[in-house]
Structures are given as C-alpha cells and as structure tokens.
C-alpha cells in the first residue's frame, strides 16, 4: 500500500495488472479483468460477450439483486427458472424447460449463480450449452476458490464475475470486482468497456463505463490471495464441525418438518462456504432468539427477485417459483469465518438447541 501511495498511480496501476494475472491463474483462466465491483463484473462479463437488446438470459430468482439488474443493464431480458431444493442453485431441469418453450429461441446465455460458495451443476449446464449453443456466464461472486470436479470457478464458463466486497472469502478494503474469461475476444472487449470504451486515451470506440479497479484494492487483494487457500480450508473444517455438532445435538433432519436441514455439498463440488446456511422451521423466531443472545445471523435472501417491486415489469408473480419462495422463508446463515473458534460454534449450536427445546 505504501508503494502505491508513493507511485501515485491510484487507478489501474501496475499492481492491478499483477493482481489480475495472479487471480486469473488461481482460477485457471487465461484472462482476468479487474473492475470496480462484483455488480460491474457481471455487467462487463455479459456486455463483453455481446449480450444486449433482443437477447434473453436465464438465471435464478434466488440470488442477490445484481444478478438480474446486470442483465437489465445490458439491455437484455431476464428469464427466471426455479432452483434445486438441496443446493439452492439454479436448476438445470427448470432451465431446459424454458429452452424448449417459445421464449427459448431468444436465449443467448445462462447465468448460473454459485450460491453460498458451491458451484452449480456444471455437468448439466455444459450439456445444455452444447445442445442449445448457449453462452455460460458464471455469477461466482460468492465462490472464489470453489471448484467443480477439480476445475476452479472462473474457468468453467465463457466468462465469470467475482465480487471482493469486504464480507467475501477474498475481500477488499471496499468495493472491487473481477471478470475472468477463457476468451481473448471477451477479455479485449471488457478492458475497453471498463474505461469508457477507450483503447487509446480520449478516443472512444463505444459507450462504455467507468469501472476501473483501484490500485490500492488490487495491492490488498494480491497479498490476501496468498492466504485464501488456507482460509477456505478452515471454512470447510468449520462447516464439517457444525454438521457434527448439530447431529450430536439431535437437531439435523432430512426435512424442516423434523428439525433443521444442514447444508448439502454435491460430491462433485469443492464448497468454500462463503455462507453456512441451514433451513429452519420457525426461522424468524429462531433468528430473534439468536439475536437476543448476541449471535449474528442473516437471511440470504428474504424476498426472491421475482417478487421485488422494482422488477414487477418482468411479469412474474408470487407462486411462480415455489422452491425459491420456500427457501426464502426457511434459510438462515449462521456465523462462519476462518477465525471462528470451536467454543463459539458450540455456543451457536447450544442456542439453537435451546430454542427448539
């Protein structure tokens, strides 16, 4: 950080290029493009792939708002498909139904979200890509370091978007994002778009955006990247210990009717547990109970995107995506971060047990 301040190259300085190379290599991708936020990364990834007016993009209603707003920002139309009830990720079967409908002809891309740090079913999405000649864009905002069959998130699809918001597994000291891609064309286009459509200074090839990565953020991220594998390993260990403690407490169940449902990891995936999310009966009461005992929790996400008032013009209504709606009423994220102590985990589990007792 001192070196950046001394150089006074605060935007797209040499540390940005260095971080882009290191992060892309970590993800197994040949190209990485730093930008101002994960939201901008989603827009850049799609816009650089020439997704725009007249195109449709299929994604999930159970995600952060930026997943859909970035599609709209491209001028494309979001088409929503329900989620898998076990992993909360976009359901390939639900996507295929849309592809076989009248709207399917307009679909240019699918945007699966690697929710909570677990990759979506990439075997199924790769098959859909081949059958329907689609682009696959990864919303990997929560999944830096996650893998599918050993392949890192960020190199599974045509392009991917990452967020380095301060709560993420790899976190900046503010907003920051990254696009990774296997495509030279997408890489080149994204670099032009992030700098007002300029390749040569003050000569604008197209209307882009100001979405450049601050050099200070890149310097911080490159240092922290060295520690990320150990931090992600610790998150997996903590998740496994939560599972053991909940089973020992007699709280785990196959359905919410008999107790809480623990996170499910697909055996083909390497989960990085950005969040440890349970399904819980009487979820809102449980959260109040935890808050009273000074135990943090959060709901990701309390209102599916198709029910957001600002997205009413998409034409969806309550009841259209029942699995997403059920998840929104049941999910609860419990504390998980690399420094979480075992005695603190026991306090969380004991508090949950006391509530249901």
CATH number at residue 209: 3.40.640.10
Per the structure, the count of domains in the chain is 2
Pair 243, 135 in one domain: no
pLDDT in tens, the chain (357 residues): 999 999 999 999 999 999 999 999 999 999 999 999 999 999 999 999 999 999 999 999 999 999 999 999 999 999 999 999 999 999 999 999 999 998 888 999 999 999 999 999 999 999 999 999 999 999 999 999 999 999 999 999 999 999 999 999 999 999 999 999 999 999 999 999 999 999 999 999 999 999 999 999 999 999 999 999 999 999 999 999 999 999 999 998 765 556 899 999 999 999 999 999 999 999 999 999 999 999 999 999 999 999 999 999 999 999 999 999 999 999 999 999 999 999 999 999 999 999 999
Pair 10, 54 in one domain: yes
For residue 14, give its domain range: 2-225
Determine the distance from the C-alpha atom of residue 98 to the mean position of all C-alpha atoms in its chain, rounded to a whole number.
22
Pair 122, 136 in one domain: yes
Q: What separation, in Å, do the N-terminal and C-terminal C-alpha atoms of the chain show? A: 51
Asked which of 186, 205, 225 is the last residue of a domain, the reply is 225
- Strands 56-59, 107-110: pairing kind: parallel
DSSP letters for 38-53: HHHHHHHHHHHTT--T
Place of tokens 């971080």: 19
Pair 143, 181 in one domain: yes
Pair 208, 256 in one domain: no
Half-sphere exposure of 96 (CA within 13 A, CB side): 11
Asked which of 225, 242, 260 is the last residue of a domain, the reply is 225
Cβ–Cβ under 8 Å, residues 191 and 33: yes
Pair 248, 334 in one domain: yes
């Amino acid at each position: 950080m001192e070196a950046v301040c001394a150089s006074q190259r605060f935007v797209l300085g040499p540390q940005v290029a260095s971080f882009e190379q290191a992060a892309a290599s970590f993800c197994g991708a040949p190209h990485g493009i730093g930008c101002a936020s994960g939201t901008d990364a989603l827009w850049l990834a799609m816009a650089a792939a020439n997704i725009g007016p007249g195109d449709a993009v299929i994604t999930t209603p159970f995600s952060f708002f930026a997943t859909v707003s970035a599609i709209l920002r491209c001028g494309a139309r979001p088409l929503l498909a329900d989620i898998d009830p076990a992993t909360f990720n976009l359901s390939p079967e639900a996507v295929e139904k849309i592809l076989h409908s009248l709207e399917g002809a307009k679909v240019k891309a699918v945007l699966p979200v690697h929710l909570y740090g677990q990759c979506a079913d990439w075997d199924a999405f790769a098959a859909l890509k081949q059958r329907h000649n689609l682009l696959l864009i990864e919303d990997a905002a929560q999944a830096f370091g996650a893998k599918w069959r050993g392949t890192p998130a960020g190199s599974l699809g045509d392009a991917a978007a990452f967020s380095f918001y301060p709560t993420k597994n790899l976190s900046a000291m503010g907003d920051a994002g990254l696009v990774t891609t296997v495509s030279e064309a997408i890489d080149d286009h994204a670099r032009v778009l992030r700098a007002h459509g300029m390749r040569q200074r003050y000569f604008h090839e197209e209307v882009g955006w100001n979405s450049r990565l601050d050099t200070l953020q890149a310097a911080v991220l490159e240092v922290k990247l060295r520690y990320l594998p150990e931090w992600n390993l610790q998150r997996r260990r903590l998740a496994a210990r939560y599972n053991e403690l909940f089973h020992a407490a007699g709280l785990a169940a196959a359905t919410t009717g008999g107790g809480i449902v623990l996170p499910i990891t697909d055996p083909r995936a390497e989960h990085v547990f950005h969040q440890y999310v349970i399904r819980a009966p009487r979820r809102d009461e449980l959260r109040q109970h935890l808050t009273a005992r000074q135990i943090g929790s959060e709901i990701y996400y309390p209102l599916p995107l198709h029910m957001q008032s600002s997205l009413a013009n998409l034409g969806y209504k309550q009841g259209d995506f029942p699995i997403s709606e059920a998840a929104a009423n049941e999910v609860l994220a419990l504390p998980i971060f690399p420094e979480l102590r075992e005695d603190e985990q026991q306090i969380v589990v004991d508090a949950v047990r006391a509530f249901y007792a």
